[in-house]
Amino acid sequence: MQTSPASTRSIHLSVVTLLVSAVAAWASPTGPARIQGIVKDSNQKPVAGAEVHITAKDGSGFQKIVRTDSGGQYGVSHLPVTDYEVVLFVNGQIKATLGNQKVFANKPTQMDFKLTGKFASAAQKKHTHMVYVPAETGSNLSGRWVEVDDNVGAAGVQSGDVKRLSGDAVRKMQGGGTNSGGN
């Protein structure tokens, strides 16, 4: 009985696929170690959606990236027993780095993050706008642009009421309250 060229190619393709799968499974590093933890903000509330980057320090190039769940928890299993660098990203910004962290084969390695201050998603944006302040009469300086907070008035008071003084009032302030000369 003779086999057709199509069935021979099919057998060769099956053997090659089996070999590639075996090499891929053998080459991917696995081990008994586990890294787990929880990420909390400064108010002790869990931080959901933070990225935890785990990189082996043994030169293998092994790296895993996991996200925290709604409870701020993360975990990675089947890691090789070696040293790792663990980097926490919140909203794309590095918030913490743990270098040369040792893991153990017989128990999970706990790596918790407790953020201090406000993290990026909780920070409120400052609302400002620019105001042109014209030059004073008699000044050789041109006007200028000044940044003003929308929530606070131009003079730093809530009313935003700006008052201009006359030239006499300014001279009185500069002269100590009197407009007389000489002592």
Q: Are residues 46 and 104 in the same domain?
A: yes
- Within-domain flag for 22: no
Q: Are residues 136 and 101 in the same domain?
A: no
- Within-domain flag for 48: yes
pLDDT of residue 125: 57
Domain count, the chain: 2
pLDDT of residue 53: 93
pLDDT digits (tens, 9 = 90+) for 48-79: 999 999 999 998 888 999 999 999 999 999 89
Distance CA 91, CA 55 (A): 20
pLDDT of residue 88: 93
Structural domain range at position 131: 126-158
Mean residue pLDDT across the chain: 76
Half-sphere exposure of 122 (CA within 13 A, CB side): 14
pTM: 0.51
- Within-domain flag for 171: no
Q: Are residues 35 and 59 in the same domain?
A: yes
What mean pLDDT do residues 123-129 have?
62
pLDDT digits (tens, 9 = 90+) for 3-24: 666 667 777 666 666 655 555 4
What mean pLDDT do residues 148-166 have?
59
User: How deeply is 178 buried, as exposed, middle or buried, from its count of CB atoms within 10 A (0-12, 13-18, 19+)?
Assistant: exposed
